[in-house]
Each structure stands twice: as structure tokens, then as C-alpha cells.
Amino acid sequence: MRESKLYRKHNKDEVQCLICERLCILKPGQKGICKNYENKDGKLMNIGYGILSAIESRPIEVKPFFHYWPNSTALTFSNYGCNFYCPWCQNYHLSFENPPLSRERFEPEILVKMAIKNGDEGLCASFNEPTTQFDFLIDVFSLGKKHGLYGTLVTNGYFTKSALKELINVGVDGFSIDIKGCPQSRRIALGSINHEVVFRNAKLILDLGGHVEIVYLVVTGFNDGEECIEWILNKHLDYLGPEVPLHINRYYPANYWRKPPTSISKLLSIRKLAIKLGIEYVYVGNIGSSEYETTYCPKCGKVLIERIRYRVTYYKVENGKCPYCGYTIPIRGRYIKKRYWFF
């Protein structure tokens, strides 16, 4: 266990967690909503420190990151718990569980050594929500940075500003952020979440020099109404601008949410509207279509990056520009030339 870097005393023996915007106030012996932080004798302890549920090398495009270290791989790891409890969560068997405190704990050095041995270019916290292991992340990514590994998160983006600054300071510069909904979304699913905080944080990351890609999982019956669609697209432009990639992904029934899968026509209509409004890089995921996971030059329309099964099969960005018209294409990191069995 580790004492958290981000908390403050609150009313005698109570403490307030300052890692995510839930800002849990905990009495002695009480755990936060994420199940990984507990008030122990007036200190906020990361009781789930190093207790991991999965470790494996995965393509960066899976996250999804389409403009970050193309064709690279990241040693991806997860723990247990979440600060959101989405009823459609695909990984609910991890996110809805308490960390098994009797299980072996991994030290950050083990993950860094595994990444180097596997030939990975970076590290990624994914599968469940990374806010639940904030203090472990600080130690892992700071060590990874010393060994030349990039740091990325797949997250709901509900960190506090202080937590984001700490993460960026230790080397996390890639954030794949899920926008769950809008003010009109049904509160029954996620409670009193302020969805605009997610865009606020995404902008802060950009201002601090980080890379952001937004993922909009279009969930049937929750965030698929016209008013919600327009709110999300307009906030994307207002806060982040046209160059930040937007991934419009298909939902499938999972966990408690049994509504039908998002219709493909709905996804394509959202894509069309996003492009019309001015978002330059709009992708449609979870439908198995390479066409809608291809990067086109926003100016001349030429194909610049093709992807099949989350791997890059064609890459034509030269020195950060379209080779046909010279338009600047935002790419963080370098293209990694690797070949795979299905090519």
C-alpha cells in the first residue's frame, strides 16, 4: 500500500481524495467510490497499489490512438474498480470488482522490464479506469520515462486538474478520453456526472503539451439523441478545436444495458455532421470497416494512413505533412515500421 500524493485533511479524522472529480470525503475505514483508496488512521492509502488484473502488449491503435506513435505497441495493464459504473461496461468484471487484497502486488520495475523485453515503445493503463491506480501510475510512468517509454491512458477523463498535472509531469502525454454523455443524458445511468469537466480536462491536457483523442461511444437510449449529439460535437470544437481526432464508436449490449446495438446509419450520420461542423479527423469504430478507420488529408482528401485490424498497412505522412498538398497532419511520436502475420 502507498499513501496517496493527492488528498487533504477534512474535519478531524476525515480525508478528502483529490484524484478525481468525485472528490470523495472518507471517514476512517471508509473506501472511495473507486474501491482502491481508503482512509486508514487519517491517511488516504492506495490499498490497491500494484494489484493488477491484466498485463499484455497491445497495438496503440486498439486504444484507440490513430495519431499517436502509429503502429507501435504498448505494454497495457489494468487493475480493478472504477469511479464511473457504466451499465453497458464491456469490462464490468474488472471495473465493478474490489481489488483482491490478498493477490500478489506488482512493482513498477516489473512492468518497465516487461515492456523493454517485449520490444514495446510505451506503456498504457487501460481496460478499467486509470484514476483508480493514480499513485501506482505515477511510479510506473516516471520510471518508464527514464527508460524512453511513452506513457498513455485510456480514461473517462474525470481527473482533477492537479492529478492531470502530476501525470503529465511524470511523462504521460497520450490520453484517449471517453466522453460518456451530455447534460441531457439520462442521470439514472451515471448519476451526477458533469460531462463538461471531461472537455475541460482534455483542453488542459492540450494546453500542457499532451496529446488527446476523444472517443464517443454512441449508446442506444442514453447519448444518441440529436440534442446530445450536437452538444458533444460542439463542445469538441469549442474546447479542443478541429484537429483533435474524434472516434465515433458502435455500442453493443453488455452488462445491464440491453438496448440494441447502435445502428450503422446513426454512426455515419454523426460522422457526416461532425465533418460538416469542421472536425477534421473523424473515425467510426467497432464496425469492422477499414474505410472509416483511414486517415484522409482534410485539405486534398488523399489517403494518408490505412489501418486493418488495428495495424497500419499504409503510411504516407512526411515530416508531419501531407506529401501531396503540404497540409499539416498532427501526429505525436514516430511511425513504427513493423510487419505482422496477416500482411
Q: Cell numbers at residue 297, please?
A: 488529408
Instruction: Say whether pLDDT at 45 is over 90.
Output: yes
Cβ neighbors of 265 (< 8 A, separation 6 or more) are none
For 89-231, list the strands marked E by DSSP.
Answer: 122-125, 150-155, 172-178, 211-218
The pLDDT tens digits for 182-195 are 998 866 667 789 99
Place of cell 483508480: 132
What value does the mean pLDDT take over residues 233-254? Answer: 98
The pLDDT tens digits for 204-236 are 999 999 999 999 999 999 999 999 999 999 999
pLDDT band at 240 (very low <50, low <70, confident <90, very high): very high
Query: Domains in the chain and their CATH numbers?
Result: 2-46 (no CATH), 54-315 (3.20.20.70)
Half-sphere exposure (Cβ direction) of 163: Cα atoms closer than 13 Å: 26
Burial class (CB in 10 A: 0-12, 13-18, 19+), 63: buried
Instruction: Say whether pLDDT at 341 is over 60.
Output: no
The pLDDT tens digits for 252-305 are 999 999 999 999 999 999 999 999 999 999 999 999 999 999 999 999 999 999
Enumerate the β-bridge partners of residue 178: 215
Residue-level pLDDT at 11? 87
Tell me the CA distances in angstroms from 81 to 5, 46, 96, 139, 229, one per residue in order. Answer: 19, 12, 5, 19, 29
Burial class (CB in 10 A: 0-12, 13-18, 19+), 128: buried
